[in-house]
Amino acid sequence: MMMKSFKSALLFSVCAIALVACETPGGTQSGGTSSTDEFLPDDQQGLTDEELAAQGPNGGANGQSGTETFALSDCEPECDYPREALDNPDSLLSKRMVFFAFDSDQVKEEFNDVLIAHAKYLASNPDVSVRLEGHTDERGTREYNLALSERRAKAVRQFLMLYGAPAESVNVYGFGEELPLALGSTEEAYAENRRAELVYDGNDLSQ
C-alpha cells in the first residue's frame, strides 16, 4: 500500500515535471519572443514601439508588451515570407486551422487568405515542411471519419499546391474523430472539431 502510494506520488511528480517542461515553449510563443526574432515588414523597420502600437488595431490590444506589437503587413497574404514570419502572432501565418461543413471536404472561401499565406510561406521556404492533420466531428463511424479527415487534409494540400507550395513540403494525415478539440455533443463543438490543422515542426502554436 505504502509502495503503491509512493509510486503514485512519484508518477505524479514525473507528470508534473513533464507538464512544466511542456508549458515553457508554449508560454514563450504566446507571450512573444524578443523583438529581434520577429518578422517586421520593410516599411516598418526603424519605427519606435509607440509608433508601431499606434498603427494597427492589433497594436497593444492583445495585452502584449509594447516591444512585441506592430501592424499587419500590407503584403499579406501574398508575401515573400521570410522564414521567421511563422513566429509573428499578427501574421495570417499564425492562423493554423481551417474548418469544414458537416460531411464535407470542401475548403471554405473564408479560409482562402490564410491558406494562400501558408502556400506562399512554403513556396518562399522550400526547406520547411508542414503536416496537414485532418479531423472530423464525432458523428458517423470512426473508420469512415478517418477517411473523411484525410480527404479534408488532402483538400487543404490541393489548395496549398495550387498557390505554389511544393508538393514535397506538405504531408497529409487523417486523425478521424479521435482527437476532438471541443468536448461535448453540441453543434458548436462539432463545428470546432471539423477541422484541418497546419502543424509546422517545432512551431506548434496549438491555436
Binding region for other proteins (CB under 8 A): 4, 7-8, 11-12, 103, 131, 138-144, 146-148, 150-151, 172-176, 178-185, 206
* Least spacing, CB of residue 149 vs other proteins, in Å: 9
* Least spacing, CB of residue 76 vs other proteins, in Å: 28
Nearest alpha carbon to residue 178 among 154, 142, 204: 142
* Least spacing, CB of residue 118 vs other proteins, in Å: 19
Given a contact cutoff of 8 angstroms between Cβ atoms, the answer to whether 5 and 38 are in contact is no
Measured from the CB atom, the residue of 11 and 61 that comes closer to other proteins is 11
The helix or strand, by DSSP H or E, that contains position 154, with its residue range, turns out to be helix 142-162
Nearest alpha carbon to residue 200 among 33, 87, 79: 87
* Least spacing, CB of residue 148 vs other proteins, in Å: 7
Q: Give the other-Cβ count within 10 Å of 166's Cβ.
A: 16
* Least spacing, CB of residue 143 vs other proteins, in Å: 4
Given a contact cutoff of 8 angstroms between Cβ atoms, the answer to whether 81 and 120 are in contact is yes
Q: What is the rounded distance in angstroms from the CA atom of residue 152 to the CA atom of residue 134?
A: 6
Measured from the CB atom, the residue of 118 and 157 that comes closer to other proteins is 157
Given a contact cutoff of 8 angstroms between Cβ atoms, the answer to whether 145 and 136 are in contact is yes
Q: Which residues make Cβ contacts (< 8 Å) with residue 187, sequence separation at least 6?
A: none
Q: What is the rounded distance in angstroms from the CA atom of residue 138 to the CA atom of residue 194?
A: 9
* Least spacing, CB of residue 141 vs other proteins, in Å: 4
Measured from the CB atom, the residue of 85 and 130 that comes closer to other proteins is 130
Measured from the CB atom, the residue of 37 and 178 that comes closer to other proteins is 178
Measured from the CB atom, the residue of 76 and 197 that comes closer to other proteins is 197
Residue 71 is given by DSSP the state P
Measured from the CB atom, the residue of 4 and 45 that comes closer to other proteins is 4
Q: What is the rounded distance in angstroms from the CA atom of residue 120 to the CA atom of residue 29?
A: 22
